[in-house]
Structure formats: C-alpha cells, structure tokens
Structure 1
C-alpha cells in the first residue's frame, strides 16, 4: 500500500499502478468538501463514471448517487457442492448443465417471458413511497432471476480438493440504473440551485442528510441492494435445479453473498459516516467475501481482516486493465481462445466483440490478491471449468 497526499488529503492506494483517467478522478474526489479522513483505492482500481471503480469514499452527511453507480447492489454469490468435478463428463457438462442453465436463466438484455412469483422479490419495503421502484413493479417480475450483460457471469468452478462450486456475478438490472440516473439528475439540479462548491463537471452531485431527496434515494437504494440479492438468489436456485437433474445426489452448502456497489452508514475513526463502495467489497474482520478473476483465471473466497486504512474494504475482482473499446481493438481473438481451451475451460468467447471480457482485458488476479494481504486472507482458491457470460 502506498499513500499519496493530493490537495492536502491522504489517498491510500493498494494498486501497483493507476491509469491516468482514474488518477484524475481520484484527484477530483479529494476536492470534495465533505470528504472524510482519507480516500482508499483497492488493487483493482480503474476509471469509472465520476468515481473510480475499486474506490472507497467516506463522506460526512451526504450521499453521492454516482459514487454508488448505476448497478446498485451488484455483487457476487458462491455455493460449494459435495460433488467431485472429476465425476462430471464433458457430455453432461456441455449438453445437460450448460444448456440447462441457458434455458432457465435469460442472459444479456433478455428477460423472462413469464412473470416470476412475487415471493422472489424483496420484502419489508415501503414501495408506495418510492418513485422509481413503484413505477417498475410490473417490470421487475420479468427481470428477477436474469443475468444481464457486461461483466456479469455464471461460472462452474473447482476448488483445490476437486469439489464443484457455482459462482455468479449480477446486480439490480435496469432498476438500479433508473434509480441512479433519477437521483443523480435530481442531485445535479439541487446542487446548481444551492451554488455548491462541487464542480458539476466532476459528475459527483450529492444529496445531504436530512433532506427529503436523501431519504428517498436511500430507501430506493436499499431496495435495489435487496433486489440484486433476490436476483442472484433466484439464479443460484435455478442453477442448482439444473445440477440436481444432471448430477444425482448433489447437495449444496449455504450460499455466500456479498455486494460491491452501495453506500452504508458506518463508524470509522470515531465518527458515523456514509461509506460509498463502488466496485469494492466489505472486508470487516471475519466477513467472508468473494474476489473473482476473469473467465480464464482463478477466483477467491476470502475472509476480511478489518483494516481501518481501507475502511474495512478489499477489491471486488481483478479490475480492468483495458477499456472495453481498447480490448476489442487490441486483443487477439485466437490467442485468447487458445489460452482458455488449453486449460480445458468451456468458455463464452465467440467473436472479437467478446474480447471486452477476455482474460487479457483484466489485471492479473494473483497480483491483485498479493497486493491486499493486509486486507484479507484467502480461504479457498477456485479454478474455472465452464463460463456463461451475459
């Protein structure tokens, strides 16, 4: 970890290097008048919208919708089974399991053709008081249990003892995007009216604690976090159903779940502050988390060490080393495919466009893990067997 001082604000960085755009965004964050104590940038840090992905920002009495991002509640879940991977034939893997998952879980921008049961949606929220969530209630019954696109994935993996695992990455689908955009636009309008010191060009408009707008965003954000978990839980249930049909006698341990796009009230350095994690994972002492690699590399089940310097956080993945556009333009399709096939991985690369999610588009996960040994300890190392991308 290295510490920089920018605009008289400490910035703690666990990455070996930071791209120029992300560094500019870090500098922008140090100008915020409500920034609390210091900034923390995880080993997977790279440029995002307004705030770097892989960043942790603590604020005094404000929330920044764009510092949470558009995929509110996006996160990981993983399940260990009692089934040895060596007992799964390639025919069963490809024809029954992979095809079965694709048939039950809509991928990319597709949704279910039939409404899913209300029991799969979040409970305990005052939906009638929510502007965006209330408007989307008829739509989200078709979206829950769907993967989405981009870097979202479903992956079958094996641990070092040969046990089969299922890991998936997804979020709140279109709901989170609409909530973020609605409240970011509202925050921009209010900040302009208040003549705030925050430059609107930074894309970091804020909502102060105590305002009606803060209360509304906070309620809808929390619903999105819960909806994202419901979404992952339903997909995991469907994957388990497919596996149970293909692999008689299979059983599963309880699901591990952790989000990496949200804001939360937490106590740090003796004060209650709002911590924004944008592509960062909670690593409080004893908390079990998930740090995925790319579709050609290892992923990790980890346990938090509770490091105050990172606001009890760690990375949420390997992190991009190439933008989507740069990856498509520069990576060699055949080389990336050959690398996966040499490892026997059933992969999701079909065309040059898929290079945006190729292994070469991401940082070295082993280096990323090595850079945060003061934040987490590794519990389990997982290797990919088969991958479905959004």
Structure 2
C-alpha cells in the first residue's frame, strides 16, 4: 500500500497503476468537505461517475448517492455443487446453458408474467420504490446487461461452482438518479463548496430527504439480493434436472452500497463503490473477466481499507473503445480454443472481452493485505446480458 498526499485527506492506494481520470476523482473525494479519515483505492480501481469504481469513502454527516452508484446493491453470489467437471460433458453443459437462457431474461428483458416475491422482502420504503411496485414482480429474477453474468466454473478439485453477478435493475437506477438530482438542487441552494463538476452532491443524513434515500437504498439492497437468489434458485433447478447434484452454502455479497460502520473508534457512513466488505473471516467474491478465473476470498479485517476488498478485475479499456478497436475473430478463436462456452458472438459483445479488464491474479496479489484467496475458480461457461 502506498499513500498519495492531497490538500486534505490522504489516499491509501493498493493499486500499482491508477489511470489519470480515476486519480483525479479520488483527489476530489479526498478534498470533499465531508470526507473523513482517508480515501481508499483498491487494485481494481478505474474511472467511474463522480467516484472511482474500486474505491471506499467514509463520511459522517452526509451520504453521497454517486458514491454508491446507479446500480444500488449490485453484487455477487456463488455456490459450490457436489458434482465434478468430468461428470459434465460438453453436451450436458451446453444444454444447461440453453435452459438457463430460456428461463432467465437478460439485457433489457423482463419476465412476461409476475414472479413470486420472497416473503421477507419488505414493502417499498419511499416514493420511488413505491412507484415501481407494479414492475418489481417482473424485474425480479432477471440478469441485466453490461458486466452482469452467470458463470459455471470449476475449482482445483474439479468441483462445479455456480456464480452470478447482478444488481437492482431499473429500480436502483431510478432511486439513484432521483436522489442525486435532489442532492444537486440542495447543494446549489446551500452554495456548497463541492464543485458541480465533481458529481459528488450530498444529502444530510439527518434530513428527511437523506433518511428517505437511505431507506430506499436499503430496499434496493434487499431487492438486489432477492433478485440474485431468484436466479440462483432457477439455475439450481436447471442443474438438478440435468445432474441431480446437491448444493453447498451460498456466499452472497453487495459491492455498491453505503453502510453505517465503526472504524478507528468512530462511526462512519462507509461508501463502497465497486468494493466488498472484508472483515476478518468474512467470505467474499472477486470475479475475473469472461474467460479468466475468479476467486472466493476471506477478509483479513484490514483497518486501513475500512475492512474492504476489490470487487473484481476492473476495466482498462472503455466499452466504446473495445468495440471499435478489438478484433472479434481473434478473440473468439482464443476463447473457443480454451473450450469455454462464451458470449462473444458479435462486434458489440467485445465490450466484455477479457482484454477489457485487468489481470485478476495481479489484483489478488496486490490486495494480499486485505483478503486471502481461498478458491480459484476456472470458467467453463459464461452467460452475459
């Protein structure tokens, strides 16, 4: 870890390289009037909107919607099966993939019929989530697009794992955009010191609007988790129909959220944007890119990172640049040669090519102070939105 000095707070950085845009955003965080203690940059850090992705911010009196992001509650779940890869021939694996695609809508698609909501999912907590109440039963159990995925993997002992990455879908986006707009209005009214260009408008956590955002954010977190569990149940059903396998205990984590936590003897709102909680003994998921390994990790409770870890590999090439510059045929050939059932079929799919992301092994190495790798998981099949 190295320390980057600013005019206000230090930046604790675990990344060997930080792109210029991400560093500029990190400096804005460190010089934010309500930022506390220090700012963290994790090995997967890259430029985001307002706050870098792969960063952690502490505040006391305010909460910053753009430091959570538009996909509130985006996260991961993973489960180990008792079936080994050698029992899963290519045809069976391909049939499993086709069945999953048939049952789980991806991209902008939603279910055509209402899905049952879990009984423990509380009623919407505020006006934005309440307004989406009719759509929620159609959104739950859907993957979305971008970097969201379902992946079938194997560990070093050849046991099959299921991993998926998704968030709160359109619900979280609407909540995030509404409260960020409200925050911008209030910051302008207060003549805030925070530059409009930073995109780091804030809400007072003790105001009605601040409390309302926190309530709606927490609902989005619960919905995002329920969304992943709904999909995982579907995938388990598909797997059981083909293999009659059993499943182990699920690991489930968020990596876009804010949570009230005690660090260095004081209470803070810890904003994790593209970062996971990594308390001592806490399991986490750090996925690679399409065609590369992923990791199950165990947190070390490192105080300097606010007990946080990287959430993935982190982008090195923007989506538009990837589509414009990468060679479709060579990337398809490389993935085909590896034997992976992948999702790169057209030029537009190149925004999720392995070349768009950092080396996941390097990310894991650079955060060895933060989390210990427990399982290294190798991809067999990938479904993208």
Q: TM-score range by the shorter chain?
A: over 0.9
Q: Distance in 2 between matches of 1:325 and 1:7?
A: 34
| Post-superposition CA distance 1:145-172 (Å, at most 9, x none) | 0000000000000000000000000000
1:123, CA displacement in angstroms?
Answer: 2.5
Residue of structure 2 equivalent to 1:8: 8
| Post-superposition CA distance 1:180-234 (Å, at most 9, x none) | 0000000111111111111111110000121000110000000000000000000
Runs of 4+ in 1 over 6 A off after TM superposition: none
Q: 1:261 aligns with which of 247, 253, 256?
A: 256
Aligned residues: 385
Q: Distance in 1 between matches of 2:69 and 2:4?
A: 25
Provide the secondary structure at the position in 2 that maps to 1:321. coil
Residue of structure 1 equivalent to 2:121: 123
Residue of structure 2 equivalent to 1:235: 231
Residue of structure 2 equivalent to 1:53: 53
1:119, CA displacement in angstroms?
Answer: 2.8
Residue of structure 1 equivalent to 2:104: 105
Residue of structure 2 equivalent to 1:282: 277
Provide the secondary structure at the position in 1 that maps to 2:376. strand
Residue of structure 1 equivalent to 2:339: 344
Comparing 320-329 with 366-375, which one deviates more in the overlay?
320-329
Residue of structure 2 equivalent to 1:41: 41
Q: Distance in 1 between matches of 2:122 and 2:352?
A: 37
* Alignment RMSD (CA, Å): 1.0
Contact 2:121 2:223 in 1 (8 A): no
Provide the secondary structure at the position in 1 that maps to 2:18. coil
Pairing 1:310-349 to 2, within 5 Å after superposition: 310-349=305-344
Q: Distance in 2 between matches of 1:354 and 1:278?
A: 25
1:6, CA displacement in angstroms?
Answer: 1.2
Contact 2:14 2:43 in 1 (8 A): yes
Contact 2:78 2:164 in 1 (8 A): yes
Instruction: Tell me the TM-score normalized by structure 2.
Output: 0.98
Instruction: Tell me the TM-score normalized by structure 1.
Output: 0.97
| Post-superposition CA distance 1:339-371 (Å, at most 9, x none) | 212211000001111110000000000100000
Provide the secondary structure at the position in 1 that maps to 2:113. coil
Pairing 1:177-256 to 2, within 5 Å after superposition: 177-248=173-244, 250-256=245-251
Q: Distance in 1 between matches of 2:139 and 2:17?
A: 38
**What stretches of structure 1 of length at least 5 have no aligned partner?**
none
1:268, CA displacement in angstroms?
Answer: 1.1
Comparing 161-170 with 6-15, which one deviates more in the overlay?
6-15
Q: Distance in 1 between matches of 2:211 and 2:9?
A: 29
Q: Distance in 1 between matches of 2:8 and 2:138?
A: 49
